[in-house]
Structure 1
Amino acid sequence: MQDEGRTDASRVTLGRHVIEMQRQHPGARGELSVLLLQLAFAGKIFSHALRRAAFADRLGSTGGHNVQGEATKKLDDFGNDVILEAFARTELVSAIVSEEMDEPRHLAGGSHASYVLCVDPLDGSSNSDVNGAVATIFGIYRPSGPAGAARVQDLRNGRDQVAAGYIMYGPSTMLVYTTGAGVHGFTLDHDLGEFVLTHPAMMCPSRGPYYSANIGKAAQWDPAVRAYVDALTSDRDKPHSLRYTGAFVADLHRCLIDGGVYFYPADGEYRDGKLRLAYECAPMAFVIEQAGGAATTGSARVMDVPMETPHQRVPLAIGSRAEVELYERFSRGEQ
């Protein structure tokens, strides 16, 4: 409910917020602000399309597969096209790495295109046909390399990111982002057509009551991971409860708000883990660390893992610091 005496004009929109943040850095040229607002614009288009998907024949599979061999949904392709079109003319992004494209898409931008955008256009796409939460994950990288436009091959690790976040499409549409100065959440007001600040300075609780994992694959996990689950669920005073939607962002957003841990370790099908480093794990690790949480592969901080290929996979445990640190201890055989 809107506060008495408060008008819509008094609300802090995403546009106003990024401008205020930009003013705190006198040397800023406004490029990052442009990119964040373009992502928000793409999110508005996608949010509208999702609400109309059943009427526009955008539900279901395309019959094709992406580079990982996963069946693609019609909304996967639509979301990818929206991202490409949103950044085609900014002249700030030199290349886009997407889950839906075999190779990076190079954009015309000249030598001043300083950024590489890594994106999962539709995380949790299997949920789209059952009216479940889905999301767009993004990481904006500014790699160090030779003079000229940014190059994908110069991406070193997650620390090359200058901004990251996600747009989650559920009961409401939320945009959550960080530029390395905390984490802020905005909710789309469809009447105003604006993302409005609703979750300032988000902090992940140090521990939480939930864990999220694909328990159906537990028999394929390393014994240390199975022992970790036993430890989470056998606490007589505060046993962790399972919450798993099959959508990475939706599950991690719960951890960010309520505390807990999400993990997807290596298994018999995915020997290196299932989630991709450049456009899933590293962006979400940037967000969760800025909110006081942690992200690990079990043996290394996710933000430090060297990037070798655009679609590189890594195992992941991410969320509240206490649960992630416990996961690391089990992985090292210290428990």
Structure 2
Amino acid sequence: MYKNPSFRTPFDFIMEKTSDNQTERTPLLLITAAIEQGGRTMASLLRKGPLLGITGSAQIRNVQGEGVQTLDQIGQETFLGLFRRSRAVLSVLSEEAEMPEVLPCDEKTSLLVAMDPLDGSSNISVNAPIGSIFSIFRPPAPSSSSPEGLFLNASSPLLSAYLLYSVSTSLVLAFSGETRVFTLDPDTGEFLGDGSPWRFPDKGKIYSTNEAYLPRWEKPLQDYLSWIKKERNPSMILRYIGALVGDFHRNLLKGGIYLYPAEAGEKTSGKLRLLYEACPMAHIARNAGGIATDGKQDILTIVPRSVHQRVPLIVGSVDLVREFQERTGHPLSGL
């Protein structure tokens, strides 16, 4: 099959961005290669899931109290096994495990990985888009004595990524100030992109949220949505898939804002997990010229209190997020 010679791979991207600082090049290449292989494996299994009988519930609940799908477990085992074999990962934090797991590693510059191995798994049975999300962190120095402490004391992500399984399989990487989009070629097994950084389009018109939750929101949030629907000019359109990766990806490519605010009086202060959902999406957005907040502050400035901490998430184009913050009474400075 003809391959456009201008296509670039994730390997090319990492090599290019580590040309002046090669200390972390090897572990980043190994971890990215593991994510790519996991994406190939999961994309194949998802295409054949109904035929293999693996699209149903696993009849258990995870540490979050949520129902686990069989493919959630497969995703966990797939990526964890690949990170273990890479010997470049010191510890893995996952939505599907109560505690981070420490892995055997060879690299002196081994890194931390936080992941949601299968985001939006409730969409599996209806053949809707789903994804996998990853944040890669440097371990704190000096290293903590506990696995949880490694993640609670880590700095902002070094690299973030997600895989989107849909009509095609996409890999989005954010690293060293750029976000790039790659597509899996099913004939060669390579993830290929045009080598250019992706930016949120200006003046996006999409908002993504579950309007069924509107009565549960604080009044400023209700007023904002009412204004969006009745008064804003030019008008915006609602598009909502119900899987974070799918909704974020559409808005990244077309321009928009994703809204998952806290409910009024909500004890958990949101639903999405900070370290392996909100944080990687915030990092990808930042590298693509966007921003993410919890409704009051930049997601990337939040210091986690627990490894499975939940937060609200507002993410998208800077102009749309700034507009949201101003109309809900929490304008952001420095934007």
Instruction: Name the TM-score, length of structure 2 as normaliser.
Output: 0.92
Kindly tell me: are residues 96 and 119 of structure 1, through their superposed partners in 2, closer, same or farther at Cα, counting changes over 3 Å?
same
Which residue among 297, 300, 305 is the counterpart of 2:297? 300
Q: After alignment, is 321-330 or 49-58 more displaced?
A: 321-330
Which residue among 212, 215, 226 is the counterpart of 1:230? 226
Q: How does 1:57-96 map to 2 (within 5 A)?
A: 57-96=53-92
Q: Corresponding residue for 1:320? A: 317
- SS of equivalent to 1:184: strand
Q: Is the 8 A contact 1:162 1:179 kept in 2?
A: yes
Runs of 4+ in 1 over 6 A off after TM superposition: none
Per-residue CA shift, 1:71-123, capped at 9, x if unaligned? 11111111000011001122221211111111111212268363111000111
Which residue among 309, 314, 327 is the counterpart of 2:306? 309
RMSD: 2.2
- Opposite residue 56 of structure 2, the aligned amino acid is G
Which residue among 114, 118, 126 is the counterpart of 2:122? 126
Q: After alignment, is 124-133 or 13-22 more displaced?
A: 13-22
Distance (whole Å) between structure 2 residues aligned to residue 291 and residue 210 of structure 1: 17
Distance (whole Å) between structure 2 residues aligned to residue 148 and residue 270 of structure 1: 29
- Opposite residue 48 of structure 1, the aligned amino acid is S
Q: Corresponding residue for 1:262? A: 258
- SS of equivalent to 1:253: helix
Q: Corresponding residue for 1:331? A: 328
Q: Corresponding residue for 1:278? A: 275
Distance (whole Å) between structure 2 residues aligned to residue 141 and residue 86 of structure 1: 17
Q: After alignment, is 98-107 or 312-321 more displaced?
A: 98-107
Q: Corresponding residue for 1:142? A: 138
- SS of equivalent to 2:139: coil
Return the offset for 1:26.
4.6
Q: Is the 8 A contact 1:265 1:273 kept in 2?
A: yes
Instruction: Name the TM-score, length of structure 1 as normaliser.
Output: 0.92
Identity %: 33
Q: Corresponding residue for 1:43? A: 39
Give ranges in structure 1 of 5+ residues lacking alignment. none
Per-residue CA shift, 1:189-224, capped at 9, x if unaligned? 000110011472100123311111111110000001
Per-residue CA shift, 1:134-166, capped at 9, x if unaligned? 000000011323258994414357843110010
Distance (whole Å) between structure 2 residues aligned to residue 207 and residue 316 of structure 1: 20
- SS of equivalent to 1:42: helix
- Opposite residue 27 of structure 2, the aligned amino acid is E
Q: Corresponding residue for 2:286? A: 289
Which residue among 237, 241, 258 is the counterpart of 1:241? 237
Distance (whole Å) between structure 2 residues aligned to residue 105 and residue 207 of structure 1: 43
Kindly tell me: are residues 160 and 54 of structure 1, through their superposed partners in 2, closer, same or farther at Cα, counting changes over 3 Å?
same
- Opposite residue 284 of structure 1, the aligned amino acid is M
Q: Is the 8 A contact 2:139 2:154 kept in 1?
A: no
Q: Corresponding residue for 2:191? A: 195
- SS of equivalent to 1:30: helix
Distance (whole Å) between structure 2 residues aligned to residue 132 and residue 48 of structure 1: 15
